[in-house]
Chain A
């Protein structure tokens, strides 16, 4: 018996779903195995995970809140991935966005919210875009691989944030904790509570609105504008871009700038709405999760929204596991990685078909 691997002519229709669900099941199986090795109940652990993620209304709500920054960062990296620019720097751009928002909030605290919030958005997006443009310029001018440079800038970005929070922006009344003083009311994105009542939904904040707006802009930009088309065409290869006289360099700058701005926006919303001040705990790896989300969702906006929510729920579920089973926090990242690797491996079956066959009787003379 031999394995025959051959390239598929067309994408298998229903097979896509089968492969994705199969990969998900395999990833969960692997994680269950790891729980067993750690001496925890495997099935019980997964049950805690699901219960924690989807069991109560407040956990779903928590997942929705966590999905906001993931979704925004993911749109940003998806935009870059569209033209095969591998922006791994959403985490750093998110950090700079948080810094930008904090700068505006601390410097112009006296302004009314209607002026201050837009100012925070602007400065966050500008700093995020700037952080994204650095790898773009390095790539165009010096041929530096953007994967490496954008990844390295993540660490620099986080260090900048920590430098400010531990240093000049530290709240004198924080008893030495690394955090800024609380933002003035005008610099905090409000909760929807006022209009939705005091129920659970009231905990949602207006930052959620940024998601449909950004998603819509993403679809319209890629589907309806000339630049969006040129961007997608560039993703088909640099040779074609040269033949069709596409503005390749400009587009690299554009996607990295816009991608950085979206991640910066996420950093602003997270700082202003969730924490109400800047502290190092704002960095919990949303920028990395966003890459996983963009890839799993194949860069399409609706799947990105769905996947962002799913991975946010996974984070919430893992928090429950931490509490109930004393599982280390890193387990969440392990699960994320396992899902991504399984889906990536599964994509092999979308491109190739594998059959078992007995060796054909050879006609060659012996």
Chain B
């Protein structure tokens, strides 16, 4: 059904009436960062008066694609058309001039200025300002698109939802015809989200083209007219929102099931329990971050935690890895309570963590590889207070050779390594600690095929001495590597079953969407 409709959409400009030509068309757009293919031959049409949702996991290529539309990168292959003519944006200024505007997750507003001043910043139209007139212009604009806001209010006093409206007004005032929203609901309360959706509908009714980037299924279904699913840099499906029967259906379309690569996965005998979580709960102002989470992990197995991003994976990992103490419930690591385990602070034979943010959290960009090795292994290279740098350097050399980290010298600084090589180095470093419990978060996100395969092989090897908790948004990765699968939704465990259980695996999409029935 999806494929059929994809063709239908592509034929639309030819067969449809003349006035629904796409405002913006992407034609076979490809973008590479080094070895990584961020966008692979993407073709999309953005129509006036329609809300198009771009759905995909982190690292699927959504942001790269939109950054090209907004003029921050140029495509390596393919081209962008605006109103039927080919364009090339060298700067975001040119994209804005062509009527393409973007609302980023992080707002770019001057807090000490009023709403009207922010909207008209750089567009004052004359040397002298007329505050009353500025307020009137902005007030009229806000009223027309249903964006309730006081033009005289100071931006610093506004809520996140109101600030977002200011960003939208900036684009509307610049006569943007295409408005791109990057995860716009991430900072909003439920009420503000509803108000935003009303405004989106109002803008689209007045002929604006809206692009809505998200990985939240319900939101996409409630607001979008058309949905394009992005996975690993490609458009995996494009269909009308009305064709989607349920969030579960959409989740299935989003995470996919194709196995790209094959790795040798031999069974490893299961050992003792290395991680035991009971009734783990955590609350925040917005509600439960973790809700009675419980599971065991044994040496020799990989337990995959899957779910749409932002459903509790982050607080779970931060608790297990010692950043935040458990609020209520028990966490036992290697048979010790959380507080005893982290009071001990053992560097070897304990827990190793491969975080999602390998460039900002797992490594220091300005330090060389030896220093980055020492970051988590310094206790192993200390003789009293003295640091044995010579030995650390030779160990770093061994890791670089064994894991084929390019460029192959230890004096390279972390920022000089590509994402894949950095990840191989982080894995090598963490495995050097001989962990008995390994937590890997999105370990292959943004990596090329070869690096992905290498990382998978290492994770499988790690089972011989450790239990592995694999947190991933990529279902094919989870199915390929794991022994058991745990599905999370809104901080709850929706299901925990063997990866070989075909019946349950079939239901993963539904579980990820919060449907337990």
* A binding-site residues for B, Cβ under 8 Å: 223-230, 232-233, 236-237, 239-240, 242-245, 360, 362-365
B positions within 8 Å CB-CB of A? 82-88, 90, 94, 97-98, 322-323, 345, 353, 355, 360-367, 371, 374-376, 378-379, 382, 385-387, 389
A364 and B87 contacting across the interface, CB-CB below 8 Å: yes
Q: 6 interchain pairs (CB within 8 A)?
A: A226-B382, A229-B387, A240-B361, A244-B375, A364-B94, A365-B82
CA distance A228 to B353 in the complex (A): 24
List A contacts of B98 (CB < 8 A): 364
Q: Within 8 Å CB of B82, what residues of A?
A: 364-365
Query: Beyond the given A224-B387, A228-B387, could you list 16 further A-B residue pairs with CB under 8 A, ordered by the A residue number?
Result: A223-B389, A225-B386, A226-B379, A226-B385, A227-B385, A229-B387, A233-B364, A236-B364, A236-B366, A236-B367, A239-B360, A363-B87, A363-B88, A364-B82, A365-B82, A365-B85
- B364 contacts A226, CB within 8 Å? no
Of the candidates B83, B84, B323, B367, the one whose C-beta lies within 8 Å of that of A233 is B367
Residue of B nearest to A362 (CB): B94
Q: Kindly provide the distance from the CB of A347 to the nearest chain B CB, expressed in whole angstroms.
A: 15
Residues of A within 8 A of B387 (CB): 224-226, 228-229
| B361–A243 touching, CB < 8 Å | yes
Nearest A residue to B347 via CB reads: A245
Instruction: Across the interface, name the chain B residue whose C-beta is closest to A359.
Output: B90
Check B88–A226 contact: CB distance below 8 A. Answer: no
B355 touching A243 by the CB < 8 A rule? yes
B361 to A, closest residue via Cβ: A243
Report chain B residues within 8 Å CB of A226.
Answer: 378-379, 382, 385-387
Q: Say yes or no: B364 contacts A245, CB within 8 Å.
A: no
A243 touches B362 (CB 8 A): yes
Contact assessment for B375 and A360 in the assembled complex, using a CB-CB cutoff below 8 Å: no
Interface centre among B94, B353, B361, B364 (most CB of A within 10 A): B364
B91 to chain A, nearest CB (A): 9
Shortest Cβ gap from B177 to chain A (Å): 14
| Contact indicator A245/B367 (Cβ below 8 Å) | no
Residues of chain A contacted by B90 (CB below 8 angstroms): 360
* CB within 8 Å for A244 and B88 given contacts A225-B386, A364-B98: no
> What's the least CB distance linking B22 to chain A, in Å?
15
Given A226-B387, A229-B387, A364-B94, answer yes or no on A239-B361 (Cβ-Cβ < 8 Å): yes
With both chains docked as a complex, state the minimum distance between the C-beta of B344 and any C-beta of chain A, in angstroms: 11
Q: A243-B353, A364-B94 are in contact. Are A233 and B360 (CB under 8 A)?
A: no
Query: What is the bound-complex CA distance between A9 and B361, given in angstroms?
Result: 21
| Residue among A223, A224, A226, A227 having the largest count of chain B Cβ atoms under 10 Å | A226
Q: Contacts A239-B361, A364-B98 given: A229-B385 contact, CB under 8 Å?
A: no
Distance in angstroms between the alpha carbons of A363 and B371 in the assembled complex? 48
**Which A-chain residue is minimally distant from B381 (CB atoms)?**
A226
